[in-house]
Amino acid sequence: MKTIESHLFEIYNGIKNDAPDLHCLTFIISEFLHRPPYLHGFIHVGGVCEEFKNVEELEKFVSDKVSRRIKNEILYRRYEKEVADD
């Protein structure tokens, strides 16, 4: 169980590095209606709560969040440079 806990915190901290306003990450393993077990969960970043139905959706949400943050940082740096030049 400690190994599982360690891996979950490693995943959480890795995502937190990419999305600093991460507040909560849940993983749920469900099995119902004669389906095989599957993983899903929720991620709370800033004021946004998103459900993911598989790991691919989680990866896409995090990469979209990271690319938006990077674009915003680039725009902010350009703005700072323009203001400093004035």
**What are 3-15's pLDDT values in tens digits?**
999 999 999 998 8
Q: What is the pTM of this model?
A: 0.68
* Count of domains for the chain: 1
pLDDT at 71: 61
Distance CA 71, CA 23 (A): 22
pLDDT digits (tens, 9 = 90+) for 37-77: 999 999 998 888 999 999 899 888 888 877 666 666 666 66
Query: Radius of gyration over alpha carbons of the chain, in Å?
Result: 17
The type of residue at 21 is D
DSSP 1: -
First to last CA, the chain: 58
3-state secondary structure of 9: helix
Range of the domain at 64: 2-85
Placement of tokens 């993911």 in the chain:
52
